[in-house]
């Protein structure tokens, strides 16, 4: 199992890293769009759409993304989109998470399908535009989610006692959340003081932009908010899977489950990061 996970991770890195560092941001947008389209297929299946029919939502999202690249929308999404999506995540998660797995199927199926597709599309737009801003910027945003996950796992294993949401994800604890926040705070300091000053980066990271605009306290507050949103995204997908009786969103990524399982925490963080950038 571990060998399979490592091989899959290496293959993904071999595809994604050249796209990230390509001179034209379009290549990263198109490569990541394929993953988001696959996630849309998984989302449709988790919400009651048959396997073959679920190809439709995935194809629709791929076409919408291709149009965004072709029309240049990727590089000029208005900030109001990011703030509206952030509000949808914050307000919607309150109702959805409080309802638990049993409450999710009570929402109309077309609404569930539509909300997921919109969140995936806007999340991809935020990812693509973050790459347009700079390589350093998009990597700093991605690393917030990865560090929050690593910190939560380490702290949860070492100190986890108080369950965060036992009916949704029994393995998560409040101690893990705190560990993730500490990890992201350390990452912010490291990136601001070393990466942005010692490496030949193409533009400031999100951390440095927040510090320059709001000071160290503002940077820590913004980073903590993004880390918290990553937990929300993770819990949201876990709730949907539990409601569907599924362990993974699919088996597209051997050893890792599905694409949604890998990007769930990113979906609320990406538009929120772009919203913060509009202030900084």
pTM, whole model, 2 decimals? 0.94
pLDDT digits (tens, 9 = 90+) for 191-207: 999 999 999 999 999 99
pLDDT value at position 160? 85
Could you tell me what percent of the chain has a pLDDT over 90? 83
pLDDT value at position 2? 61
Q: Is 253 exposed, middle or buried (0-12, 13-18, 19+ CB in 10 A)?
A: buried
pLDDT band at 211 (very low <50, low <70, confident <90, very high): very high
Name the residue range of residue 102's domain.
Answer: 2-279
Gap between the Cα atoms of 207 and 224, Å rounded: 11
Q: What would you report as the CA-atom Rg of the chain, rounded to the nearest whole angstrom?
A: 18
Task: Flag whether pLDDT at 181 surpasses 70.
Answer: yes
Task: Flag whether pLDDT at 217 surpasses 70.
Answer: yes
pLDDT digits (tens, 9 = 90+) for 243-268: 999 999 988 888 888 999 999 999 99
Q: Which helix (H) or strand (E) holds 213?
A: helix 206-244
pLDDT digits (tens, 9 = 90+) for 113-163: 999 999 999 999 999 999 999 999 999 999 999 999 999 999 999 998 899
pLDDT value at position 76? 87
Task: Count Cβ neighbours within 10 Å for each residue of 46-57 and write b for 16 or more, e otherwise.
Answer: bbebeeeebbeb
Judge contact between 40 and 116, C-beta under 8 A: yes
What's the structural domain count of the chain?
A: 1
């Amino acid at each position: 199992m571990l060998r399979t996970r490592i091989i899959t991770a290496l293959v993904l890195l071999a595809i994604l890293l050249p796209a990230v560092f390509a001179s034209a941001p379009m290549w990263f947008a198109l490569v990541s769009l394929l993953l988001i389209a696959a996630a849309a297929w998984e989302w449709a299946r988790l919400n009651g759409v048959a396997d073959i029919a679920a190809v439709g939502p995935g194809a629709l999202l791929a076409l919408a993304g291709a149009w965004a690249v072709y029309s240049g929308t990727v590089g000029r999404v208005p900030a109001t989109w990011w703030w509206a999506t952030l509000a949808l995540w914050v307000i919607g998660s309150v109702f959805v998470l409080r309802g638990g797995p049993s409450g999710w199927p009570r929402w109309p199926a077309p609404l569930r399908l539509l909300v997921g597709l919109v969140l995936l599309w806007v999340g991809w737009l935020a990812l693509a535009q973050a790459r347009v801003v700079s390589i350093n910027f998009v990597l700093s945003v991605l690393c917030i989610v990865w560090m929050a996950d690593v910190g939560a796992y380490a702290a949860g294993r070492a100190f986890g006692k108080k369950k965060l949401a036992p009916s949704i994800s029994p393995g998560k604890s409040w101690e893990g959340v705190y560990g993730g926040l500490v990890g992201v705070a350390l990452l912010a300091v490291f990136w601001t003081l070393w990466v942005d000053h010692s490496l030949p980066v193409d533009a400031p990271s999100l951390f440095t932009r927040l510090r320059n605009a709001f000071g160290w306290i503002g940077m820590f507050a913004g980073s903590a908010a993004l880390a918290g949103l990553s937990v929300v995204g993770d819990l949201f997908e876990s709730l949907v899977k539990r409601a569907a009786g599924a362990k993974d969103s699919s088996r597209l990524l051997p050893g890792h489950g599905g694409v949604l399982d890998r990007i769930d925490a990113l979906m609320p963080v990406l538009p929120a990061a772009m919203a913060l950038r509009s202030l900084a």
